[in-house]
A and B are shown apart, each in its own frame.
Chain A
Amino acid sequence: DTAVSQTPKYLVTQMGNDKSIKCEQNLGHDTMYWYKQDSKKFLKIMFSYNNKELIINETVPNRFSPKSPDKAHLNLHINSLELGDSAVYFCASSQAGGWIEKLFFGSGTQLSVL
């Protein structure tokens, strides 16, 4: 079983559309994240949730809205997609406390906005 699974793997869509990416982790972790990796491979944190509560919200357009129905799931909804949103989006999870920096990543969702 995949520890952190996200779907879809690839997402190709038109500018202006709304899309969602789903993420689930079966590790029993308390904290989940969304990261964006640009074309230069730079990893930038977008959001962090701890037990369904938002704890980190970096400077991200409000077109991006994370939703955590329970601590095993963290979905990302993006409204009015723009060309600059094209990137690879990674979901990750970690245990709270001393292990919080030990992140387990999903395999990524490659988003292409045309």
Chain B
Amino acid sequence: GQQLNQSPQSMFIQEGEDVSMNCTSSSIFNTWLWYKQDPGEGPVLLIALYKAGELTSNGRLTAQFGITRKDSFLNISASIPSDVGIYFCAGGYKNAGNNRKLIWGLGTSLAVNP
């Protein structure tokens, strides 16, 4: 089945540093999404990408939909302590029954040292 390889699995950085994480797959996706999960909460959508090559920002966050449609990256600039959490990528596609489905990455756990 389809799988997403998300890396790195975890990161420990100093406040103010930039962060980069990515998701790759052997399959093509129609959409890429990035979610963040705070401890004890459900994931929250950060950025949604719908077109190959698309580059989208949300404050200090920037994400890109890879030109091959098989990958995406998320960058966080000038990290702050509240960036702590687990970041998930998710790829959207249509299955044989024309139903839209999501495949999730395994998450990148981010810790920020103030």
Contacts and interface: CB of A to CB of B under 8 A. Distances in A.
A16 B23 CA distance: 39
A88 to B, nearest CB: 9
Contacts, number: 49
Interface residues of B, number: 23
Interface stretch (A60-68, A72-80, A96-104): A96-104
Contacts of B43: 43, 90, 103, 105
Interface in A45-59: 45, 55-56
A101 B86 contact: no
B31 A101 contact: yes
A45 B99 CA distance: 14
B107 A41 contact: yes
Interface in B27-46: 31, 33, 35, 37, 40-45
A100 B106 contact: no
B33 A108 contact: no
A108 B45 CA distance: 16
Interface in B64-114: 86, 88, 90, 92, 99-102, 104, 106-107, 109
25 contacts: A41-B86, A41-B106, A41-B107, A43-B104, A45-B102, A55-B99, A92-B42, A100-B100, A101-B33, A101-B48, A101-B90, A101-B100, A102-B33, A103-B35, A103-B45, A103-B102, A104-B45, A105-B41, A105-B43, A105-B44, A106-B42, A107-B41, A107-B42, A108-B40, A108-B41
Interface of A: 4, 40-45, 55-56, 90, 92, 100-108
